[in-house]
A and B are shown apart, each in its own frame.
Chain A
């Protein structure tokens, strides 16, 4: 076994290589903009140079004169589109700011014109020649800017129903033996997936095909249909591969319906490839947040009071918020908890999901504060977590379905060499470099959503699995194929998986790390339907059928034998008995606690995600512990992070290779978020400044010297049939705090604002 393919432990699948590995590394995998179109026209966007105000006029003469220009679409002649509600308010859209509807401008880089031409080059040149006169109004950029408004999230955002609290925080804090009050800041960030935000639209009569990297083909299909005012059955979204999403492709952006509308009018396929910097303003982002944490503890380290107040920036019309207090108020045992989330409205585009949306900013605050508390208590930070570990969340008193937090801390501490740490700040160094060790807990809710699947088994074992799930780079093809192969007892190389097409049975949004649990549970159920039919054919008597039913029951561990009955199921024999060459089954699966309208919603592109803290009588999270070494140059104050070690437990690990890859990427992402990534805003005009990959820094190989991922065995029979907890968003959560905690250890300086840059380290 190589490091990339860890030996499976108990309750782990095989580390089989990715189904799509070869086609990806050889460039054969087709992304949305690779899809061939018949005689396409090319679109290039013109975006606003002001964040607030209006377009007074366009001078298009120069642009129109460019050879090959077909049309220039502005608010004056744009296709009329219907409105769409915000994703988090039950709609499909990532923003309700609809460009090209009027001359108004609500944020920097808003689409104000679309140039259509015979070639990409002509469209780009003409776009460069569009002249715009604006009336600009002074915008509010962010926290602290004049003109922002602030109000509690509760009551504004349909998904933020309560500010969790329990006991009497004020009194307990007042009386606490040890107290900490600290404020933390996180910056705006952008996803910057490798694949640009392209869209191609082609009409065939009344039917529309959209090629677009999407994390939710059913959502996009229904959303675009709604905006165009046509039947959703006429719209098909296709994207067999998605070049990274990280949340940016979870909700519909305004560009899609605009391009579809123009393609219809021109009666010609249109391909849009926006630039990298346009990607910063035509999609969503992670908003900046501010936090105040208050912790009260007894001398021996038991938390007696916890308060988390968070504020998040959103746009003027949309109350987007992530509200991570739902997690931070439940992570540790504490009898007196209070919290409050508020939303600050500024003249910005609406923010949206970005990898672990609530947990990244909110756990940065809490896990930094826990480290500060450990320092106050003169206690090892791992021990502080142990003292406050719990099997029951404090707000509703519900038990965790499984929780391996301390096992993760112990494993990761051992692998990291935590015992070699001398606890005094500034006590470790190596030549020019001060060394710091730090750690933090990480967690992510276990979520599931209704999903359908179609499975077809042939007599020779060839199997076809169809599901409108998404390969966003996580390994979805691979784990779905593994699930079907194991369940049906056919060799893996006979299984073909089809994803990323809204003509296939619906799957939920690839968000909230619910995909593996949801799609694999659906695939398991449908494979069982096939097994039932085959068993019935070879064992027609009722008692035998019952026995067969029992052996294909959901709780049975997958086996390469058809079932654990007296004799293995001989597929060929079963087919002969059935008198058929192909068995095909379709099924719809929903998780425990999913609402009544789940399946209806599933078909109309609304994912009814359940799990996490919102379950009726239990709470489900995946946990991990992360340890980092930072090195800070005494002279330049450059901060490097040569070692990242994480241990994680997430129920059944479907494939240790793809799981490790996700977690490794998460750790690196977390380091990037702590030390490099921030979208800079020009406060005067509410515009993004570093909107390109040379200035928006992400780590390069030289920044990532060592990453170690440890997968712990964990079995959880209370979450979903697959027994899997989502882990795609697990690893990038704790790293931010772990790094700041290590910086404190190296320098004695506590930094509460991300990202940490060399100028934040004092002499």
Chain B
């Protein structure tokens, strides 16, 4: 960890100003000299590891008053960026109408972390790639552009099989983002020019040739809210992992269905633990629409979801695993009882 200045933002304007002031045009957000601090459970970790070296920290927790509301509505659900993971996970209406959201949060991290961590911080968390998190490894294109990728032919059991490039195969580690991307959520961004919205699915960028650029956010921009259109009581988040709690996904699926009279009207499938970004499996979903569910269909959907997957030495198992997770999540969503 290196010395940094600490500033507490008393309102969004001040936060945006403080964050933009230190921004240099040439740096991507991940290297910006000023970083917002929410729960700190990712940021402080990475600073201690010397991976992130911001010169300034802008504490945005005092914006919580305006930015942490949980507002379920009949048209859309609005979630403040600074709402705590644990509060959203335990919210009765979210449990009822958006089980995929509630469970993606409940199955993430540990109780202590969920009490600290915010939704915005959660979607902005950075990869757990061991080589990225250990600065004694020189070759990491994400941390050190152009230096190579140590994980490509190294210990890559946790790494991605979808959305990879020859520059980086790091997995996007979070859970909640899969629920957002599945449900066509919008993300609200507050910056110098005010507030804008965009589809959450466009927030994260696959690594391509610039793995150091992870999102569409510019330095000086903050996530202020998420909104989720509609209600999805028939939805599931299924997560496979090495231990029963407090562990990142090896593979996960966020599935939401609208089934009427045995026919699937609408279907959403997103994948976690297997891709470089929160991953929407649109081709797979298309196979479900208008169909009656059976195991054969589930298999075809799963195959389609992983049609482009590429395994490396230690993570090839994620393709077969991911398919079974998708199939099981679909089965669970179809058969789940909906409380009305």
Contact = CB atoms under 8 A, between A and B. Distances in A.
Contacts of B165: none
Interface of A: 47, 49, 121, 124-125, 128, 277, 432, 633, 635-638, 640, 675-676, 680-682, 684, 689-692, 694-695, 697, 699-703, 757-759, 763
Nearest to A67: B3
B327 A635 contact: yes
Nearest to A641: B244
B13 interface: no
Contact of B320 (A633, A684, A763): A763
User: DSSP class of A's interface residues: helix, strand, loop or mixed?
Assistant: loop
Given A635-B328, A758-B240, A695 B128 contact: yes
B137 to A, nearest CB: 7
B1 A125 contact: yes
B317 interface: yes
B83 interface: no
27 contacts: A125-B2, A125-B3, A128-B135, A277-B134, A635-B327, A636-B238, A636-B328, A637-B240, A638-B240, A640-B244, A675-B242, A680-B157, A681-B155, A682-B154, A684-B153, A689-B130, A691-B134, A692-B133, A697-B242, A697-B243, A697-B247, A699-B243, A700-B243, A702-B246, A703-B244, A758-B321, A763-B320
A638 B241 contact: yes
Contacts of B240: 633, 636-638, 758
A692 B49 CA distance: 11
Nearest to B239: A636
A607 to B, nearest CB: 37
In the A-B complex, the 7 residue pairs with the smallest Cβ-Cβ separation, listed nearest first, are A759-B317, A702-B245, A636-B240, A49-B136, A702-B244, A635-B328, A689-B155
Contacts of A758: 240, 242, 250, 317, 321
A635 B320 contact: no
B131 interface: yes
B123 interface: no
A128 B1 CA distance: 8
B1 A124 contact: yes
B155 to A, nearest CB: 4
B321 A637 contact: yes
Contacts of A635: 324-325, 327-328
Chain B interface extent, by class:
35 or more
Given A124-B1, A128-B2, A763-B320, A682 B245 contact: no
Interface string B129-169: 01101111110000000000010011101000000000000
B321 to A, nearest CB: 7
B59 interface: no
A688 to B, nearest CB: 9
Contacts of A692: 133
Given A636-B324, A682-B154, A121 B242 contact: no
Contacts of A125: 1-3
B50 interface: yes
Contacts of A49: 136-138
Given A695-B130, A700-B110, 16 more contacts: A124-B1, A128-B1, A128-B135, A635-B325, A637-B240, A675-B242, A684-B154, A689-B130, A689-B131, A689-B155, A690-B155, A691-B134, A697-B242, A700-B245, A757-B242, A759-B317
Contacts of B325: 635-636
Given A637-B321, A759-B321, A128 B50 contact: yes
A47 B136 CA distance: 9
Nearest to B130: A689
Contact of B1 (A121, A697, A763): A121
Contacts of A636: 238, 240, 251, 321, 324-325, 328
A692 B46 CA distance: 13
Contacts of A763: 320
A676 B243 CA distance: 8
A633 to B, nearest CB: 8
Nearest to A132: B136
Of A277, A681, A684, A758, most buried by chain B (CB within 10 Å of CB) is A758
Contacts of B134: 277, 689, 691
A689 B156 CA distance: 10
B50 A703 contact: no
A703 B244 CA distance: 5
Nearest to A704: B244
A695 B157 CA distance: 11
B135 to A, nearest CB: 8
B324 A700 contact: no
Nearest to B324: A635
Nearest to A122: B3
Contacts of B2: 125, 128
Given A684-B153, A763-B320, A694 B250 contact: no
Nearest to A47: B136
Interface in B322-339: 324-325, 327-328
A697 B245 CA distance: 11
Nearest to A672: B243
Given A680-B155, A682-B154, A700 B244 contact: yes
A759 B241 CA distance: 11
Contacts of A121: 1
Contact of B243 (A124, A681, A689, A703): A703
B130 A703 contact: no
Contacts of A47: 136
B327 to A, nearest CB: 7
A689 B138 CA distance: 13
A675 B241 CA distance: 12
A676 to B, nearest CB: 6
Interface in B226-268: 238, 240-247, 250-251
Contacts of B245: 700-703
B175 to A, nearest CB: 15
A650 to B, nearest CB: 30
Contacts of B157: 680
Nearest to A690: B130
Nearest to A635: B328
Nearest to B50: A128
Nearest to A432: B328
Contacts of B136: 47, 49
A636 B240 CA distance: 6
A635 B134 CA distance: 34
Contacts of A757: 242
A703 B135 CA distance: 32
A638 B317 CA distance: 13
A479 B114 CA distance: 41
A708 to B, nearest CB: 19
Given A125-B1, A635-B324, A702-B245, A694 B153 contact: no
B262 to A, nearest CB: 23
Nearest to B2: A125
Contacts of B133: 692
Contacts of B328: 432, 635-636
